[in-house]
Structure 1
């Protein structure tokens, strides 16, 4: 089983002291050259006076955007600490057992994908950005992530639509990929969805018993703690959908 997560918009800037990011030490080293390209472009654009507008950030985030210029020198921290916010508060990633944390993959506009143990600084960049010199980031990452990601077992997809566009499972993988949709009284919700997705991921990663190996077994596992329903793919080669009532 592999759990796919979006990043958080809010991020911990990192410790005051420590070692900066080492791109060659991050997981999925085949992405190193692509990470270098995006990082260089982000550092350059973040020094521009119009950087907040180019990066889709409001004027109140000007200091956060400016901090992107120090990404190569600022101390790094584990991704499990850097990502914060509603989903990550519910998941409580830093307290997951090591074996469970290895089943988590965080998608990132800057790094492509990260494992919780990867050490990076906080940054400001969203997947919906068209970065000068790189272009639309979802389109940039899609072929590169397709080359390095071939997950085994059931894939639990908790990503938002912008990050889902950066990697689309092939037909064989889609047969065992399940997207998590959160409802409240039959209506799709947004803010509460992040909290519930975090709780669902936490349950799946820490529950006793065997890991689910099929979408049906995943429904049974989630159903231990949530009101859930499994929907078949809407088209051939598509993914399954797990509808979960908001917690």
Structure 2
């Protein structure tokens, strides 16, 4: 079974745009789980333009499924994750001014840094995943870092699928197959939606988890959050 982790960053973006505490990030996370989500994902950034570091702490006692915290492992991020001890930490090489994640790790160039960082998290009982492009040599490099899982960066697939190019799934299939053979768990995320998730799931062997935020929240504006979460769960079966 592929687990659905709901990224709630956009709920925080909406809250921050007006000030105050509506919509309430913690309440939405609790509701998402009640609606069937099997995990909650957040991605705090240094400028706290959506999820705030305090949100990460506030959610700790309320996420009873899987708690996944994504981000660039700068010192402040690492200290927070080590204190909260979520189910999983996903390492993403964000630039400080990036609007959204736009590239995976170069697991070969940054091998030593990733090895040291991942070891610190795993020594504290936190499952690790690293965000990677669908490139075979980067999957091989990921294995050398000691990570538990990879998260395939799916923007290219989603973009091409929107044009009807289903062949865009091929590098993801090949990378997932290699990861499985290397003993790495496979997650995926970025621009996955109700339109493209079923085809992706059906063609990616051993897909353990998808993290979906922007599309899911946008779709919920029209269809309702509970309904949308159930639709994703149905397509992931």
Q: Which has the higher Rg, Structure 1 or Structure 2?
A: 1
Structure with more contact order per residue of length (Cα contacts < 8 Å, sep ≥ 6): 1
Q: Comparing both structures, which one devotes a greater share of its residues to helix?
A: 2
TM-score normalised to structure 2 length: 0.31
TM-score normalised to structure 1 length: 0.30
